[in-house]
């Protein structure tokens, strides 16, 4: 997993809960990397899961909720680092379509070894958007946080329903409906 | 305390993270550096390659430019409109203009006006790919006003974008053109010289034959008078010497005629075996006198009549058999006639004359066929003769379509042989009558006018006419002849050609213009040249009698032209109005006795043929194959219309040859056509007159 996920995750934990918690979950997690991350490095996916579970234990919060919050936090980072992806379209649905078709294509050019989730997107006749998240990493909550934040970014209001397509959460369908 | 530990760990983690980041960055930087270095290396190698290729291109360009600039031929290119885009130094020199004056100008600008239209056609053909780089010659005017001839091959080149341009390799052929013209002039001069020589020979022969005729004639008459033994012997010597002299003159004339290509083949139907037998009889006597055995072996032949030149064949055999007898002192002479092949139309016969005489040395075997060459000067001293006999025989055999060949062993004997193919002749029903019979049948009612200035000749003819009881009058020149014709009533005129006051041609024209009945006028001529006969026919004469002539010759002419019952079959038989040298069968089929139609066609042919041949000559000399082919095709049928089917075949051959690049064949067939047309023209001309005469008679 790309280092940026780890550095941003620990940044978020520090901002929300203080460095003390960061220190605790690193110490709790018996990590191969000893919790030393840089944005340009690559680290095992299991470490982020480990950190997330230990954070959940420490702060007594649902890991899914934490992951969703991380998604929201990550959106701001992406927006600051890659504004060109957001300026090229003018509405949320167009942006969501562009993730799989455009943004991930560009990411792979920069990081050929990155394991990216699949985001299949389609719009039904009544204007509902169906997005299907597919990833062995099972981090659909992170995706949901990102989706929510991007709708807000384009100043739109939508309802988002998520539904597991596969029990283990490796495939999740989001149904996004505009309000009004 | 705990907080301090956390802070310490945080700092430691950050320090390690920075270190890790630095390591990653460093390794990335190294990677970048290496990639950059290899890119630079690639760049250098690419530049090297470009350099090398540029250099190679430049070298190649310079090499070809060198070749083009130093070429001895003109090399140029033009765009699709024929405007110059490049010309090499030789070209610039030939055109005489500067490079700036040539580039961008249209090609036609430099070409003489007379050839511009053709040039345009040439380029249009090339552009539209009607033809491929055909060779073409044309004149240009250089800056100094001089005409230069250029011969060129042009290539049409198509560029990848579909546009076209021309590149050409050309040569200044001015010198060649001048040489060609000089050669042509030299050739004409040589022909004129040859004509003058022939004229001289013809005149000389006339001058010699006229008195000779009188000597021979007189000796015949003298022999008929009462003579004592001594006088008779003198007369015989006189007659023999005169005959020998006549033979000599004939030989010299014959050889000059053959050499000048003027020897005519007069085909007639005759009995081949009778000819051989007659010759054998004569020579057998002579051989027996020398103590030699003389044998003749003749294969049985069904139809012994052949169509050929009897006189020439006779002369060939006389020369060969005469030589055999002359050069053999003991032993045997064999004359062998073998039938090789006989089919519906022709028979092929071989003739062999074999002796046991002196033979011929190996080294002399070739030269003895040359004129005036006997084997050795010793031979001449010992045996006499002119050395013309074998040369004439050999040339005449060739003329009749064969080859005279020789096998000989010195001291043992010689064998001369040749093979000829004959067309079948007509079998004659009647046998030749004796002179006496002719004389008896000639009635007193016949009246002949003899126009002759030479007293000896007058006497010779008149004595014969008296002997046969034919009425006659004498005119000493053309003027007297016209007067006599006006005042008298004659059945036949014998007309000498060269006479004082008015010659035979003029007199004949005058008599014809009086437009009385069409009286036969027979030319008495010492000239055997075709041109003289031609002239005689043109002035309106009917026939010829060559001097010197025998009583038999004279009698035959009289019976042919005056006695209806003796007239040649030809007057009744429409087939015989065509010269046998023409394709008589095809002509008869074509005109089916319609002489008027035939006459029209023959006249048309004569009026057309020169111009048509000229056009063909032009096309060939310009190497314009398409035009030559068209012309050959166009003129093809006109030859068939006058029975020159052979030329039609040549035209077909030429047409086929023109489809190929074989210029040698093209030249060969063209020359065959040209020569044949020129040589056959007198035949067509005289045949036209004969048909006309026939039509006048029947009207």
Same domain (yes/no): A49, A95: no
Q: Is the pLDDT of residue B671 over 50?
A: yes
Q: What is residue B71's predicted lDDT score, i.e. its pLDDT?
A: 86
DSSP code for B105: S
CB contact under 8 A, A35 and B20: no
Same domain (yes/no): A32, A95: no
Query: CA-to-CA distance for B542 and B544, rounded, in angstroms?
Result: 7
Q: What is residue B571's predicted lDDT score, i.e. its pLDDT?
A: 35
ipTM: 0.81
Instruction: Tell me if A77 is assigned to some domain.
Output: no
Instruction: Tell me if A112 is assigned to some domain.
Output: yes
Query: CA-to-CA distance for B197 and B251, rounded, in angstroms?
Result: 16
CB contact under 8 A, B24 and A34: no
Could you tell me which residue, A57 or B265, shows the higher pLDDT?
Answer: A57
CB contact under 8 A, B17 and A40: no
Question: Nearest CB to A36: which of B3, B16, B25?
Answer: B16
Same domain (yes/no): A21, A98: no
> With bands split at pLDDT 50, 70 and 90, how would you rate the model's confidence at B432?
very low
Structure tokens at B647: 């030329």
Instruction: Tell me if A33 is assigned to some domain.
Output: yes
Share of chain B above pLDDT 90, in %: 19
Print the domain residue range for A124: 91-178
- Residues present in chain B in total: 699
> Using H for helix, E for strand and C for coil, what is the string for B224-258?
HCCCCHHHHHHHHHHHHHHHHHHHHHHHHHHHHHH
Tell me the pLDDT tens digit for each residue of B376-385.
556 655 665 6
Query: Which of A61, A79, A105 finishes a domain?
Result: A61
Report yes or no: B642 and B584 within 8 Å, Cβ to Cβ.
no
Tell me the pLDDT tens digit for each residue of B113-158.
888 888 888 888 888 876 666 788 889 888 888 888 999 888 888 8
Question: Nearest CB to A40: which of B3, B16, B21?
Answer: B21
Instruction: Tell me if A19 is assigned to some domain.
Output: yes
Question: Nearest CB to B10: which of A23, A37, A38?
Answer: A23
Structure tokens at B201: 């020979």
Instruction: Tell me if A68 is assigned to some domain.
Output: no
Share of chain B above pLDDT 70, in %: 88
Query: CA-to-CA distance for B186 and B193, rounded, in angstroms?
Result: 10
Task: State the CB neighbour count (10 A cutoff) for residue B389.
Answer: 22
Chain A's closest residue to B19, CA to CA, is A38
Same domain (yes/no): A57, A128: no
Query: Which of A22, A46, A61 finishes a domain?
Result: A61
CB contact under 8 A, B13 and A38: no
The reported pTM is: 0.36
Q: What is residue B224's predicted lDDT score, i.e. its pLDDT?
A: 75
Q: What is residue B575's predicted lDDT score, i.e. its pLDDT?
A: 44
- Phi-psi bin for B419: left (phi > 0), alpha (psi -120 to 50), beta? beta
Q: Is the pLDDT of residue B415 over 70?
A: yes
Buried b (16+ CB within 10 A) or exposed e, B343-373: eeeebebbbbbbbbbbbbeeebeeebeebeb
Report yes or no: B641 and B603 within 8 Å, Cβ to Cβ.
no
A90 three-class SS: coil
Instruction: Tell me if A34 is assigned to some domain.
Output: yes
Instruction: Tell me if A70 is assigned to some domain.
Output: no
Could you tell me which residue, B92 or B250, shows the higher pLDDT?
Answer: B92
Could you tell me which residue, B532 or B662, shows the higher pLDDT?
Answer: B662
Structure tokens at B527: 């000239």
Tell me the pLDDT tens digit for each residue of B49-94.
999 999 999 999 999 889 888 888 999 999 988 899 999 998 888 8
Report yes or no: B445 and B492 within 8 Å, Cβ to Cβ.
no
Q: Which residues of A touch B24 (CB under 8 A)?
A: 38, 40-41
Q: What share of chain B is helix, strand, coil (3-state, %, to 5)?
A: 60, 15, 25
CB contact under 8 A, A41 and B25: no
On average, the pLDDT of chain B sits at 82
Q: What is residue B572's predicted lDDT score, i.e. its pLDDT?
A: 37
Same domain (yes/no): A95, A28: no
Same domain (yes/no): A102, A46: no
Q: Which residues of A fall below an 8 Å CB-CB distance to B?
A: 19-20, 22-23, 26-27, 34-41
Instruction: Tell me if A81 is assigned to some domain.
Output: no
Structure tokens at B399: 């003329």
CB contact under 8 A, A19 and B10: yes
Q: What is residue A177's predicted lDDT score, i.e. its pLDDT?
A: 92
Average pLDDT value for residue range B335-357: 90
Chain B's closest residue to A14, CA to CA, is B10
CB contact under 8 A, B24 and A40: yes
Same domain (yes/no): A99, A142: yes
Same domain (yes/no): A97, A171: yes
Q: What is residue B534's predicted lDDT score, i.e. its pLDDT?
A: 72
Report yes or no: B84 and B105 within 8 Å, Cβ to Cβ.
yes
Could you give the angle at the alpha carbon of B356 between the alpha carbons of B354 and B362, nearest 5°?
85
Q: Which residues of A touch B9 (CB under 8 A)?
A: 23, 26-27
Q: How far is A40 from chain B (nearest CA, A)?
A: 7
Q: How far is B21 from chain A (nearest CA, A)?
A: 6
Report yes or no: B172 and B139 within 8 Å, Cβ to Cβ.
no
Tell me the pLDDT tens digit for each residue of B486-543.
888 888 899 988 888 888 888 888 888 876 557 888 888 766 555 667 777 778 888 8
Q: Is the pLDDT of residue B427 over 50?
A: yes
Task: State the CB neighbour count (10 A cutoff) for residue B135.
Answer: 13
Q: Which residues of A touch B21 (CB under 8 A)?
A: 38-41
CB contact under 8 A, A26 and B13: yes
Task: Pick out chain A residues at pLDDT < 70.
Answer: 180
Query: CA-to-CA distance for B690 and B243, rounded, in angstroms?
Result: 34
CATH code, domain with A103: 3.90.1520.10
Q: Is the pLDDT of residue B564 over 70?
A: no
Number of domains observed in the structure of chain A: 2
Q: What is residue B566's predicted lDDT score, i.e. its pLDDT?
A: 40
Q: What is residue B431's predicted lDDT score, i.e. its pLDDT?
A: 41
């Amino acid at each position: 997993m790309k280092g940026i996920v780890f550095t941003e995750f620990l940044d978020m934990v520090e901002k929300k809960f203080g460095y003390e918690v960061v220190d605790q979950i690193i110490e709790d997690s018996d990590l191969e990397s000893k919790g030393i991350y840089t944005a340009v490095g690559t680290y095992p996916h299991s470490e982020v899961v480990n950190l997330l579970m230990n954070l959940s234990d420490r702060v007594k919060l649902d890991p899914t909720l934490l992951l969703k919050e991380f998604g929201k936090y990550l959106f701001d980072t992406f927006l600051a680092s890659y504004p060109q992806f957001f300026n090229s379209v003018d509405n949320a649905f167009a942006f969501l379509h562009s993730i799989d078709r455009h943004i991930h294509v560009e990411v792979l050019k920069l990081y050929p070894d990155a394991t990216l989730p699949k985001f299949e997107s389609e719009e039904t006749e009544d204007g509902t958007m169906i997005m299907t998240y597919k990833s062995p990493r099972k981090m659909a909550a992170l995706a949901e946080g990102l989706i929510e934040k991007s709708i807000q970014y384009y100043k739109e209001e939508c309802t988002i329903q998520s539904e597991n397509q596969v029990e283990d959460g490796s495939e999740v369908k989001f149904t996004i409906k505009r309000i009004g | 305390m705990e907080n301090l530990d956390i802070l310490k760990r945080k700092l430691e983690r950050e320090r390690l993270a920075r270190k890790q980041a630095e390591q990653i960055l460093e390794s990335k930087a190294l990677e970048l550096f290496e990639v950059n270095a290899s890119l630079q290396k690639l760049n250098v190698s690419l530049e090297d390659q470009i350099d090398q290729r540029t250099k190679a291109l430049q070298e190649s360009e310079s090499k070809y430019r060198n070749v083009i600039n130093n070429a001895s031929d003109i090399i140029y290119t033009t765009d699709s409109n024929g405007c110059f885009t490049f010309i090499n130094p030789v070209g610039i020199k030939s055109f005489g203009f500067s490079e700036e004056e040539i580039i961008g100008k249209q090609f036609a600008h430099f070409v003489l006006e007379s050839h511009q239209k053709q040039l345009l056609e040439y380029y249009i053909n090339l552009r539209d790919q009607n033809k491929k780089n055909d060779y073409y010659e044309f004149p240009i005017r250089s800056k100094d006003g001089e005409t230069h001839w250029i011969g060129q091959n042009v290539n049409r080149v198509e560029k990848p974008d579909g546009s076209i341009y021309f590149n050409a390799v050309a040569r200044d052929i001015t010198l060649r053109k001048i040489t060609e013209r000089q050669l042509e002039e030299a050739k004409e001069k040589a022909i004129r010289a040859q004509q003058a020589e022939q004229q001289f020979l013809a005149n000389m022969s006339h001058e010699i034959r006229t008195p000779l005729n009188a000597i021979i004639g007189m000796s015949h008459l003298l022999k008929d008078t009462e003579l004592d033994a001594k006088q008779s012997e003198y007369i015989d010597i006189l007659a023999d010497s005169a005959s020998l002299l006549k033979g000599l003159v004939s030989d010299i004339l014959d050889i000059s005629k053959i050499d000048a290509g003027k020897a005519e083949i007069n085909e007639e139907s005759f009995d081949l075996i009778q000819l051989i037998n007659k010759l054998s009889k004569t020579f057998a006597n002579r051989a027996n006198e020398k103590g030699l055995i003389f044998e003749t072996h003749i294969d049985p032949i069904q139809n012994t009549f052949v169509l050929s030149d009897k006189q020439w064949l006779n002369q060939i055999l006389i020369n060969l058999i005469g030589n055999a007898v002359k050069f053999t002192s003991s032993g045997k002479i064999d004359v062998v006639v073998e039938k090789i092949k006989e089919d519906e139309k022709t028979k092929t016969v071989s003739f062999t004359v074999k002796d046991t005489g002196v033979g011929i040395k190996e080294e002399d075997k070739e030269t003895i066929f040359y004129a005036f060459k006997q084997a050795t000067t010793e031979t001449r001293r010992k045996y006499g003769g002119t050395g013309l006999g074998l040369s004439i025989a050999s040339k005449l055999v060739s003329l009749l379509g064969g080859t005279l060949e020789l096998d000989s062993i010195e001291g043992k004997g010689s064998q001369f042989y040749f093979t000829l193919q004959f067309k079948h002749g007509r079998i004659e029903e009647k046998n030749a009558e004796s002179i006496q019979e002719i004389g008896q049948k000639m009635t007193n009612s016949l009246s002949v006018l003899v126009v002759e200035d030479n007293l000896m000749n007058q006497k010779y003819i008149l004595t014969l006419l008296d002997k046969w009881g034919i009425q006659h009058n004498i005119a000493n020149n053309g003027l007297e002849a016209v007067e006599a014709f006006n005042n008298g009533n004659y059945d036949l005129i014998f007309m000498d050609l060269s006479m004082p006051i008015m010659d035979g041609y003029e007199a004949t024209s005058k008599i014809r213009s009086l437009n009385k009945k069409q009286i036969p006028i027979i030319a008495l001529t010492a000239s055997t040249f075709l041109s003289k006969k031609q002239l005689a026919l043109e002035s309106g004469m009917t026939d010829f009698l060559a001097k010197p002539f025998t009583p038999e010759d004279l009698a035959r002419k009289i019976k042919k032209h005056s006695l209806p019952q003796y007239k040649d079959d030809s007057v009744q038989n429409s087939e015989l109005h065509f010269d046998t040298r023409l394709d008589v069968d095809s002509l008869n089929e074509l005109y089916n006795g319609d002489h008027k139609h035939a006459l029209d066609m023959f006249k048309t042919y004569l009026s057309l043929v020169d111009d048509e041949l000229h056009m063909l000559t032009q096309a060939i000399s310009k190497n314009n194959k398409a035009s030559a082919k068209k012309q050959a095709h166009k003129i093809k049928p006109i030859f068939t219309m006058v029975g020159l089917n052979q030329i039609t075949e040549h035209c077909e051959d030429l047409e086929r040859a023109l489809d190929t690049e074989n210029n040698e064949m093209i030249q060969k067939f063209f020359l065959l056509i040209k020569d044949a047309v020129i040589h056959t023209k007198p035949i067509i001309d005289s045949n036209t007159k004969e048909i006309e005469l026939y039509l006048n008679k029947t009207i």
